[in-house]
Amino acid sequence: MNKSFNLNRRKFLISSFAAGGAMVIGTHAMAATIEGLPAGVPTPAGATEFTPWLTIGADDIVTVRATAVDIGNGTLTQIASYIMEELNPAWDNIKVEYANTNRDYKEGNVYSTPGGALGYFSGRSTGPARMDTYLQVAASARARLIGAAAEAWGVPAAEIAIKDGVLSHASGKSAKFSEMVEAASKVSFAEEPKPKDRSEWTWLQKKAPAKIQIPHIVNGSAIYGVDVKVPDMVYAAMMQSPVMGGKLKSYDAEKVKDMPGVLAVVTVEPGENVPTDLKPPFPFGVNPAQHAVAVIAEHYWQARMALDALPIEWDDGPGAQWKSTQQMVDAALAAVEKPGEKVEVSNGDVEAVFKDAGKIVEANYHTPYCDQTPIEPLNGTALVTPDRVDFWHPSQHSQEAFYVAAHETGVAPENVYFHQTFVGGGFGRRVFSDDARMVVAVAKKYPGKPVHLIWSREEMTRQGRYRPMMAAKLKAALGDDGLPTALLGRMSGGPGFFAVGMPETALTAVTPNAQIESQTVPFHILTGPYRGPGYNSNAFFVETFVDELAEAAGEDPLDYRLRLYGKFADKGWVKVLEEVKAKSGWGEALPKGQGRGVAVANWGMDGKTPSGTTVATVAKVDIAQDGTLKVLQLDVAFDTGRILNEDAVRVELEGGTIFGLNMSMMEGLNVEDGRIVEGNFDEYPMLRMEDMPKINIHFGGLSDDNRYFEIGEPPAGVVGPAVGNAIYAAIGKRVRSTPFRLHDLTWS
Amino acid sequence: MSVTLTINGKPTEVDADPQTPLLWVLRDHLGMTGTKFGCGIAQCGACTVHLDGEATRSCQVPLEVAVGSEITTIEGLSPDSSHPLQKAWIEMNVPQCGYCQAGMLMAASSLLAAIPEPTDEDIDQYVSNICRCGTYPRVRAAIHKAAAEMKA
């Protein structure tokens, strides 16, 4: 049984009209994915489709379809690399386009599994099922081309080679793909040919091509969601209830209707959707609309001006009970003083050990709401008519956005066309598709015209689906050897917080008695995925706490971790620690006010070992006596098992590390009378070029275990605790909450 | 109000309210979407263009102020992506999502015009754009590389 999705033999039957090109969708590069508006991409003639995943054109262009949206993580380049490995066309002749969600629906989920995780039109391209899929479709196409050439030339298939898009034989015969493609479409096999063994790879793991879309980025031609232009398009600016869950009380459209360019004022209410049989992709569910009012105008700036001038009154609702950030932090911290309502892990008898323990270490921690803050503001363009929807949007999950467009309008899914654009940053913000929902909800109030809705930065920051506020209590008893004999971990957060990063950690696994609990606090603030959900807070709690254990044991914190995690079944943990120990200058003397700290954590552990990606980071910081904190250097080692593109991995480690550094140093949203306070970068500051430490990425931690796990999220969790632990090493002050910029780090 | 702007060397007619930010004139009225909207308050730098060669955040420049200046946008940085910075950007795999990169390139090209061999401190000062993906180390390295190529 092939575990790749929908790769049964049926899918390899070539369409009877394939040679006429009737079933082919486009052969253009990335920038062209939104060409042919609004009806979709034009159909070129004379191309042959091998499966819905792969088409070879009369022009020798090999078009491959991507389900994983590229949010800057290089999925498109990786997919092109799979095709290169198995099919070996000319690299420049590979075009990647997004798989069409409408086609997926109409043709029985040719790209997905309905409602299942394999239908994930998002995420990375190196997942095992995806990788197998692309290698298989390319191997199948290759074998058919060779089969066709073998018959045409009267030679054994085994004697035919493929290189740079040319089939050749020792006799001197050669042909381009395009010359064999029609005959190839008639070749059939009782069983699909197997892709190469890893030992025969010549491209994967060997080459590190830069992202294929960069030429479109550096000249400004890449079309992001916010850049979409459709004939007759109008613009919209929107305000949602400033207190989440609040309602629109009143507004006075008369006051703005005569302003330049204003066309309409419309409202959005939750529950104006139409029931549909279409199921949302697992596990994202239904994200309801929020109460909102929007101004529609000929130009965007006119819409913004009119919205600013529009008198609006809101009924704040129950969320207004949360008067201040401190009140919420106190509630989260109070929650971890009580036994959790949900027991995540219960091994042995923690309380019995605590009773007799010689040494107990206990501490409470908390982390704030943080916004993903992609630099492209939330936006989308929708044309809603009674019997058809076209929707252009920078989605992180095109299938969810497709679902939302059908669900919000009630238009039959076969008549819903979703057009994926470039995405100006994701980080989890564009997965749930609450933004997609609002675009369609506004557009359907102005039907028959394409409506381009763009959030202001302030609206976007205050209407997030945030990294949840979380608090934790950690308590451990230390044995005679200084290692924990019992561990109690309690987490709390608002509804929907992610427990990931404490129950399944190595610390929990290696401690003989462990009890991990969680508790939900009834906050109204909406939350969502943010680079490394749950893990990004829990890694800070756990790895700061482990540093406190090392301190209590009187041992160097890196050596303590080597001993502690040396007991864990996944040997990658020790390997990455040894790598950063050797490469970071660990242990070398530093001047007063400077210190090094270490942290190690794993994102993606699934209970088996080895699994996920383990990252160890050593931070070197400098703290001036006035408390000014400067991170000087970060040394990062990792274990994803194996890697496929060295530079793609390096770039994600750099980016994920900087993201986690920003999160820990800078980010934290405040709540006042139920509203999010911060709106723009003057209030929610970001690290810039001048704040960058030297970042060294080390490859010596790789275990060569048979997995190619993801790399974008893992580094985000460890950099914060590494810096926090370095602060302690430098000035002896333990920081148990983020962002660090709010702590008094003065010393004398 | 109908006015004539000089954009990428060409006179360009536009009819918009004189207070409309240049950013929205470029993007919305003229369809030049390479210049990006990020924050609207001159913080992030995604909207950076050159006004008479100087890197300027176009979200804070009203249309009437831009009249009479030579405006250069990412579309006009080079005719064929041949600016040494554009080449270095491709070669060094600099962008991730890419959204802030037009602004980065415009800030960096203005820097190199003013200071052909910038130090790290010069780069810190001139290129204060926000990148959420964390491309800063590569942006810095690519500026140095382009500077070296321009000198050669």
CB B123 within 8 A of CB B55: no
Buried b or exposed e, range A342-373, using 16+ CB within 10 angstroms: eebbeeeebeebbeebeeebebbbbbbbbbbb
Rounded mean pLDDT of A589-602?
98
CA A439/CA A435 separation, integer angstroms: 6
Instruction: With CB atoms and an 8 Å threshold, state whether A72 touches B128.
Output: no
Which of B76, B94, B120 lies at the terminal end of a domain, its last residue? B76
Rounded mean pLDDT of A350-370?
97
Domain count, chain B: 2
Instruction: Give the sheet arrangement for strand A262-268, strand by strand.
Output: A262-268, A292-297, A234-240, A451-454, A379-385, A388-393, A416-420
Interface of B with A in 86-145 (CB under 8 A): 86, 89-102, 105, 123-125, 127-140
Instruction: Give the lowest-confidence range in A31-40, A589-598, B45-54.
Output: A31-40
Looking at residue A114, what is its pLDDT?
57
Specify the pTM: 0.95
Q: Which residues of A touch B81 (CB under 8 A)?
A: 215, 218-219
Backbone angles phi, psi at A120, to 5 degrees: -75, 100
B11 and B67 share one domain = yes
Whole-number percent of chain A with pLDDT over 70: 93
Angle between helices A128-153 and A75-87 (to 10 degrees): 30
B8 and B39 share one domain = yes
Which of B76, B102, B122 lies at the terminal end of a domain, its last residue? B76
Instruction: Give the lowest-confidence range in A103-112, A472-481, A509-518.
Output: A103-112
> pLDDT for A519-536, tens place per residue?
999 999 999 999 999 999
Q: Is 90 exceeded by the pLDDT of residue A260?
A: yes
B93 and B121 share one domain = yes
Placement of tokens 């976007």 in the chain: A460
Residue A127 CA, chain-centre distance (Å), reads 13
Mean pLDDT of chain A: 91
CA A745/CA A743 separation, integer angstroms: 6
Q: Is B48 on the interface with A (CB under 8 A)?
A: no
Nearest CA in chain A to B136: A689
> pLDDT for A274-291, tens place per residue?
877 888 887 777 889 999
B101 and B54 share one domain = no
> pLDDT for B36-57, tens place per residue?
999 999 999 999 999 999 999 9
Domain boundaries, chain A: 34-219, 229-317+378-454, 325-369+466-742
Cis before A38 (ω within 30): yes
B92 and B71 share one domain = no
Tokens of A642: 């194996």
**Residue A193 identity:** P
> pLDDT for A117-139, tens place per residue?
555 687 788 888 889 889 988 99
The percent of chain B in helix, strand and coil, each rounded to the nearest 5, is: 40, 15, 40
Question: A34-219 and A325-369+466-742: same fold?
Answer: yes
The model's confidence at residue A6, banded by pLDDT at 50, 70 and 90, is very low
CB A671 within 8 A of CB A330: no
Rounded mean pLDDT of B51-74?
98
The percent of chain A in helix, strand and coil, each rounded to the nearest 5, is: 30, 25, 45
Rounded mean pLDDT of A364-375?
98
B26 and B71 share one domain = yes
Q: Is A13 on the interface with B (CB under 8 A)?
A: no
Q: Which residues of B touch A662 (CB under 8 A)?
A: 134
Which of B25, B55, B76 lies at the terminal end of a domain, its last residue? B76
Give A664→chain B minimum CA distance, Å. Answer: 14
The alpha carbon torsion through A227, A230, A235, A240 (nearest 10 deg) reads: -70
B72 and B88 share one domain = no
Looking at residue A42, what is its pLDDT?
38
CA A4/CA A76 separation, integer angstroms: 18
CB A455 within 8 A of CB A373: no
Give B41→chain A minimum CA distance, Å. Answer: 8
B59 and B118 share one domain = no
CB A103 within 8 A of CB A15: no
Looking at residue A126, what is its pLDDT?
85
Half-sphere exposure (CA, 13 Å, Cβ side) for A108? Answer: 4
Reported as type and span, the H/E element at residue A595 is strand A594-603
Looking at residue A403, what is its pLDDT?
93
Rounded mean pLDDT of A287-299?
96
B72 and B90 share one domain = no
Which of A583, A492, A501 has its CA nearest to residue A537? Answer: A501
B54 and B117 share one domain = no
Looking at residue A192, what is its pLDDT?
86
Buried b or exposed e, range B41-57, using 16+ CB within 10 angstroms: bbbbbbbbbbbeeebbb
**Structural domain boundaries enclosing B130:** 84-151
Rounded mean pLDDT of A608-628?
97
Instruction: With CB atoms and an 8 Å threshold, state whether A454 touches B37.
Output: yes
CATH at B63: 3.10.20.30
The minimal CB distance from A373 to the residues B32, B132, B135 is found for B132
The minimal CB distance from B24 to the residues A221, A301, A456 is found for A301
CB A429 within 8 A of CB A393: no
Which of A59, A292, A47 has its CA nearest to residue A185? Answer: A47
Tokens of A9: 């033999």
B51 and B115 share one domain = no
3-state secondary structure of A32: helix
B38 and B62 share one domain = yes
The model's confidence at residue A475, banded by pLDDT at 50, 70 and 90, is very high
Rounded mean pLDDT of A600-606?
94
Pick the CATH number of A325-369+466-742 from 3.30.365.10, 3.40.50.300, 3.40.470.10, 3.20.20.70: 3.30.365.10
Residue A254 CA, chain-centre distance (Å), reads 43
Strand partners, A466: A527
Identify the architecture of domain A34-219 in CATH: 2-Layer Sandwich (3.30)
Q: Is A210 on the interface with B (CB under 8 A)?
A: yes
Rounded mean pLDDT of A386-405?
95
Instruction: With CB atoms and an 8 Å threshold, state whether B41 touches A235.
Output: no
CATH at B102: 1.10.150.120
Tokens of B43: 């913080």
Question: Which CATH class, in words, describes the domain spanning A229-317+378-454?
Answer: alpha beta
